[in-house]
């Protein structure tokens, strides 16, 4: 008679089932990140980068070529475009770089500025526009030396008595320069008893007299004017 085969399930203490056996960490194989997440670039990207680099190079070349011709803020381009004839004086020995200071013909030069004393009269707003149209502005007086110079020029002009400067009052007793230079009471040159500070006299003129204390607030009517611009240095 054939013998019977008996099966028994045997469990060993502290043994783990075969299915739970883990591979030791050092034996795991990690796939490179590049394989997991491959980087894809559009085919036109290299061309775009090349184009940008080319544009940067062109911009640098243009800047290097143009800079020597347009450098320094002392070149009032608007003034240069308005006048064809200039009068220049040398401030440094010849052959030692830029040293010629120039003003349009007929303008007066003092230090680094050019001044135009008109021979016709305009209202305040028209005077502002006229100076601006010539690449300048109504004169802004910053020093006593400048005031002395202008007083002498007005005296010598012999044309009129009142010359607009770039000082006015949008509100009574709130004096402002046309170029936004802060108004300084201690550096003002008012005539005795001036300014009147009344609503009908909101503009300021230099009155033709030898005393440098010759500013006068006045009605913004037809008067002569003094324009100022930075001198051109070449």
Ordered DSSP codes for the chain = -PPPP-------TTPPPGGG----GGG--PPPHHHHS-----TTHHHHHHHHHHHHHHHHHHHHHHHHHH-STT--HHHHHH-S-EEEEESS-TTSSS-EEEEETT-EEETTEEEEE-SS-B-HHHHHHHHHHTT-EE----SHHHHHHHHHHHHHH-S-SEEEEEEEEEETTEEEETT-PPP-GGG--BPTT-----TT--EEEEESSSSS--EEEE-SSSBEEEEEEEPEE-
16 φ, ψ (degrees, to nearest 5):
-100, 145
> Which pLDDT score, from 0 to 100, does residue 76 have?
55
Closest CA to 145 of 110, 113, 178, 118: 110
> Which pLDDT score, from 0 to 100, does residue 63 have?
61
Which range, of 21-30, 116-125, 161-170, averages the lowest pLDDT?
Answer: 21-30
CATH no., domain 116-227: 3.10.100.10
Q: Of 19-28, 94-103, 191-200, which has the strongest mean pLDDT?
A: 191-200
Q: What is the DSSP letter of 122?
A: B
pLDDT > 60? residue 4: no
pLDDT > 70? residue 94: no
pLDDT tens digits, one per residue of 100-159: 889 999 999 999 899 999 999 999 999 999 999 999 999 999 999 999 999 999 999 878
Q: What is the mean pLDDT of residues 93-101?
A: 65
* Angle, CA 128 vertex, CA 72 and CA 84 arms, to 5°: 50
More confident residue, 76 or 175: 175
Q: What is the mean pLDDT of residues 13-42?
A: 51
Percentage of the chain modeled with pLDDT above 70: 72
pLDDT band at 25 (very low <50, low <70, confident <90, very high): low
pLDDT > 60? residue 2: no
Which range, of 27-41, 48-62, 155-169, averages the lowest pLDDT?
Answer: 27-41
Domain segments of the chain as ranges? 116-227
Mean pLDDT of the chain: 80
Residue whose pair of structure tokens reads 């997991």 in the numeric block: 36
């Amino acid at each position: 008679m054939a013998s019977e085969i008996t099966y028994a399930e045997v469990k060993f203490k502290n043994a783990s089932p075969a299915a739970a056996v883990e591979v030791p960490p050092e034996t795991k194989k990690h796939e490179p990140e590049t394989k997991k997440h491959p980087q894809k670039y559009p085919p036109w990207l290299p061309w775009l980068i090349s184009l940008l680099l080319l544009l940067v190079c062109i911009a640098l070349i243009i800047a290097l070529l143009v800079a020597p011709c347009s450098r320094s803020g002392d070149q009032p381009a608007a003034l240069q475009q308005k006048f064809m004839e200039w009068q220049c004086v040398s401030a440094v020995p010849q052959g030692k770089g830029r040293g010629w200071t120039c003003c349009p013909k007929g303008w007066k030069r003092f230090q680094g500025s050019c001044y135009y004393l008109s021979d016709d009269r305009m209202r305040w707003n028209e005077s502002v526009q006229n100076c601006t149209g010539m690449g300048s502005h109504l004169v802004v007086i910053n020093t006593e030396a400048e005031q002395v110079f202008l007083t002498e020029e007005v005296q010598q002009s012999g044309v009129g008595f009142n010359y607009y400067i770039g000082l006015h009052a949008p509100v009574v007793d709130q004096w402002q320069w046309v170029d936004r230079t802060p108004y300084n009471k201690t550096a003002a040159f008012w005539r005795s008893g001036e300014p009147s500070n009344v609503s009908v006299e909101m503009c300021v003129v230099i009155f033709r007299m030898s005393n440098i204390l010759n500013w006068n607030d006045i009605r913004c009517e037809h008067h002569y004017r003094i324009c100022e611009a930075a001198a051109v240095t070449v």
